[in-house]
Amino acid sequence: MRFNLKTATQFGGTSACTATVLAWLFGPVADPLVKQAAEQLDMWIMTWAELDPQERRETRRTWIIAPGEIFAGKKLTRPRGPVEATIDTLMQLGWKPGAPDHWTFNTSESVKLDRKAHTRFIVTARALHDAQGNVWKSAAKHAYSKGLETCIPSFEATRKAKRSFERNDLHKEAKALEAVDVGTYRPDKHEGLMGVCRRCAKRVRRGRWHDIYECADNDLIEHKAFKKATRFVKHAPPHRQPR
């Protein structure tokens, strides 16, 4: 489903990262993996609220058996019901599914399901946050995505830069920025190899490091936005060249 969503965008058929495309175009919580986790838990909260005492007792029993079955990887003989789906979601978020109405977050704080709107809000907010963490952790396993596992990335700087390009009628530049942002481009096959730079004609270790930080040809680019960005690059703390 996520892949189909990406296919339907202008980045369909490119090597852009699905998680990034969805977050960039539709917002941080639009990814089905994020939305479904929050929806599953919210649905459970409403279901639990409707159960009578007898149903609650039975549900508590099912709840105790279910995590063991999920851990054992046992194929459930009956269709996966709301209990299994909810426990599965809780475990994927890294929460502890202590009881049908008592869950522990990955921060060790816990929540007791009552009928308060505030509780529902907390669960949804936490689920949306932690599910995003999972999305980026798995996106980080793809090529050239290292580092994404450390946090939920912000697109604010890119959005700001894109708006600024558009305001200044730099539409091609805005499009290029967007394409880079979602991971459409890959380093070319000479990245990191010694060779002659096509721009400054010097023998260098080719690749993005040289292109951005070292190439003397950069001084010849007169583009206003480029000049401004270059000032930042020059004042940025020293980086280590990736090997």
Residues 6+ apart with CB under 8 A from 159: none
Per DSSP (E only), the strands in the chain are: 96-99, 102-104, 110-112, 194-196, 203-205
- Does the footprint of Zn ion cover residue 131 (CB under 5 A)? no
In the list 96, 129, 199, 208, the residue contacting Zn ion (rule: CB under 5 A) is 199
Helix locations, 72-155, DSSP H: 82-92, 117-139
Closer Cβ to Zn ion, 118 or 234, answer by number: 234
Question: Which amino acid belongs to residue 55?
Answer: E
Closer Cβ to Zn ion, 159 or 199, answer by number: 199
- Does the footprint of Zn ion cover residue 207 (CB under 5 A)? no
Closer Cβ to Zn ion, 174 or 215, answer by number: 215
We find the least distance from the C-beta atom of residue 144 to Zn ion, in angstroms, to be: 22
In the list 37, 45, 174, 197, the residue contacting Zn ion (rule: CB under 5 A) is 197
β 203-205/194-196 pair status: antiparallel
Question: Which amino acid belongs to residue 131?
Answer: A
- Does the footprint of Zn ion cover residue 215 (CB under 5 A)? yes
- Does the footprint of Zn ion cover residue 200 (CB under 5 A)? yes
Q: Are 160 and 174 in contact, with CB atoms under 8 Å apart? A: no
Contact footprint for Zn ion (CB under 5 A): 197, 199-200, 215
